[in-house]
Amino acid sequence: MRNSVYYLLLLLAGIISSTNTFAQSNPVPETVMRSNGKIYVVLAICITILVGFFIYLLSIDKKIAKIEDKQ
């Protein structure tokens, strides 16, 4: 049992280290995305998600404040 856990951890460490070396051989993703104009799409989606999240939090805060005022 102990040996199988050791071999599993060794296998995972090997996989993680090999994916790291593959990632370093590719060109920088920011440069590729910026040259294609896709970085702005990613940025717009992230900003949209964050704005939606903050609006959702504000609406929940208002609902909680109304419930607290009733009590």
Q: To 5 degrees, how large is the angle CA 10–CA 23–CA 36?
A: 155
Q: To 5 degrees, how large is the angle CA 9–CA 15–CA 18?
A: 140
pLDDT tens, position by position, 30-46? 676 667 777 788 889 99
pLDDT of residue 19 exceeding 60, the answer is no
- Please, which pLDDT band fits residue 28 given cuts at 50, 70 and 90? low
Helix/strand/coil (H, E, C) string of 2-70? HHHHHHHHHHHHHHHHHHHHHHHHCCCHHHHHHHHCHHHHHHHHHHHHHHHHHHHHHHHHHHHHHHHHH
- Please, which pLDDT band fits residue 26 given cuts at 50, 70 and 90? low
Mean pLDDT of the chain: 77
Q: Where are the domains of the chain?
A: 1-36, 37-71
